[in-house]
Structure 1
Amino acid sequence: MIEKTRISTPAGTFDALASGDEDGREVLLLHGFPQSSLEWEQQLRVLGGGGCRAVAPDQRGYSPGVRPEHVSDYRLEELVGDVAAIADELGWQRFDLVGHDWGAIVAWATAAAMPERVRTLTAVSVPHPAAFDHARATDEDQHERSRYITTFRQAGSAEKMLLADEADKLRRIYDWKVPEDHVEHYLDRFTQPGALTAALNWYRAMDLTGEVGPVEVPTLMVWSTEDNAIGSAGVLATEKHVTGPYRLEIVEDVSHWIPEEAPEELCRLLIEHLLAHRG
């Protein structure tokens, strides 16, 4: 059973979804854009029913209780600090970390910065930030795929564009691959005052150059062949940035929205990864 909960930290109070017994194996799941903790619905059910205590917070800007106004408040170091603060409040000294899209970037950075606390890392869709940044700069395919980032960084005009015509362009981002009830939930959230700006501030504060070092914890990278935003260049280069055990899994004929479009496959891979690394 999935429960709603709240997690108080020095930065504010995060809304979250959780599943499983309190004494289960600790798993923290970080969502991407433009989503929320709901994207992990199926993974929460499987993990919670499989001996884990799985928690998925609505991250900074997505939780109304942690929605600072300044772009600088959404720098990667602040997002990593939130992960540590949430784990502290949960009483977790060590935990498994799972992230998709922007959540994957935060997860990569957290694993690199706090290997003593992150038991395993599972990154879904987005490769190591250094590999991704290099691909954006040198690979024509990834450069083209990433053009939307420039649009999202334009304060005011990006919000207007995405929310026009009853949020038609925002709806189209999900590419009809995400369950309709999830889409309606997301749209309802992002049409609330200030919510979309807070989420877009992640892009406006983005600077991945040199920020994330190598990752030494056991790492699973999951990428899908029909991902419109992330090409193969950065994914294939990610192995160079992981010094610990590393596994790349490529899911065929699935779009960027792996947790919701292929939940069974992702759950299978995730459980295999956790069972292989119990330390």
Structure 2
Amino acid sequence: MIEELEIRTAAGTFDALSGGAPGGREVLLLHGFPQGAIEWEFQLAALGGGGCHAVAPDQRGYSPGVRPQRAADYRLADLVGDVVAIADGLGWERFDLVGHDCGARVGWAVAAQLPARVRTFSAVSHPHPAALEQAVAEDEDQAQRSHHLTTLRRPRTAEQAMLADDAAGLRRIFEWKVPEERVEDYVRRLELPDALTGALNWYRASSVGDGIGQVEVPTLYVWSTEDATIGSTAALATQKYVSGPYRFEMLEDVSHWVPEEAPEALTRLLIRHLLAHRE
């Protein structure tokens, strides 16, 4: 059973979904753009049923209670601070961390900066930011794949383009790979006043590499071959930035939307990673 939670922090109150009972192995899951905690529905149920206490928050900009309007309030330090505050609010001293897309970018920073707090890290889709930064600079294919970030960073015009014609642009982002009812849920949430601006501010406050260093905690990186935004150059280079135990998994014929397009395959990989690193 998945339950709704509210997690109070100094920044505001985060809405969250939870699977499993408190006292189980602590797993925190960070969603990507333009999604929300519900993208982890399958994983929350599976992990919760397997003895974990899995929690997925709607992150800064997505939770109405933590939705500042200035792009400057979405710097990486703020997003990392949110993860720490959420874990503290749950009473978790140490936890397993999972992130997809921009949630994985934050996860890379948390794992690199706070190894004492992170038991294991699992990144889905988004490679280590330094690997991506180098690929954008040196690989024409990756530069083209990352060109959409320029559009997302444009104040006001990005919101207008995505929400025009009954949010047709926002719907197209999902490439018809996510169930229609789930896409409608995401669209409904992001059509609320200031919600899409909050989500886009993640990009407006970020740079590609973000100065994130080596990761020493046990790390799983899952990349899918049909990801339109991340090519093989950055995916294969990620290993250089992990000094701890590392596992790279490639999902064939799967798009960027891994947690919802291939939930069973991803969950098997996550569980295997957790079981391999119990301490």
Aligned to 2:85: 85
2:142 counterpart SS class: helix
Q: Within 2, Cα distance between the matches of 1:86 and 1:192?
A: 24
Structure 1 residue ranges, 4+ long, deviating more than 3 angstroms after superposition: none
Secondary structure, in 3 states, of the residue corresponding to 1:56? Answer: strand
Indicate the residue corresponding to 1:265 in structure 2.
265
Q: Which amino acid aligns with 2:184?
A: E
Cα separation, 2, equivalents of 1:151 and 1:199: 14
- How big is each residue's C-alpha offset from its partner over 1:203-239, in whole Å with a ceiling of 9 and x where there is no partner? 1001244521100000000000000011111111110
Spell out, residue by residue over 1:174-219, the C-alpha distance to the aligned partner (whole angstroms, 9 max, x if none): 0110011110100000110100001000010012445211000000
The reply to whether residue 14 of structure 1 matches residue 14 of structure 2 is: yes
Give the secondary structure class of the aligned counterpart of 1:175.
Answer: coil
Where 1:78 maps in the other structure, the secondary structure is: helix
1:146 aligns to 2:153 (yes or no)? no
User: Alignment partner of 2:221: what SS?
Assistant: strand
Q: Could you tell me which residue of structure 1 aligns to residue 39 of structure 2?
A: 39
Matches within 5 A, 1:114-133: 114-133=114-133
Number of residue pairs matched by the alignment: 279
1:233 equivalent in structure 2: 233
Aligned to 1:99: 99
Residue identity over aligned pairs, in percent, reads 66
CA RMSD of aligned residues (A): 0.7
| Helix, strand or coil at the partner of 2:96 | strand
- After superposition, give the CA deviation of every residue in 1:158-181 in whole Å (9 maximum; x if it has no partner): 000000100001101101100111
Q: Is the 8 A contact 2:76 2:210 kept in 1?
A: no
SS in structure 2 at match of 1:228: coil
Do the aligned partners of residues 148 and 85 (structure 1) sit closer, same or farther apart at CA in structure 2, a change above 3 Å counting? same
Q: Is the 8 A contact 2:132 2:209 kept in 1?
A: no
Aligned-residue offset at 1:134: 1.2
1:69 Cα deviation after fit: 1.5
Post-superposition Cα deviations, 1:12-31, rounded to whole Å, max 9, x if no partner, equal: 00000001010100000000
Deviation digits for residues 3-48 of structure 1 (CA, Å, limit 9, x no counterpart): 0110000000000000101010000000000000000000000000
Q: What is the distance in 2 between the residues matched to 1:112 and 1:263?
A: 27
**TM-score, scaled to structure 2:** 0.99
Question: What are structure 1's unaligned runs of at least 5 residues?
Answer: none
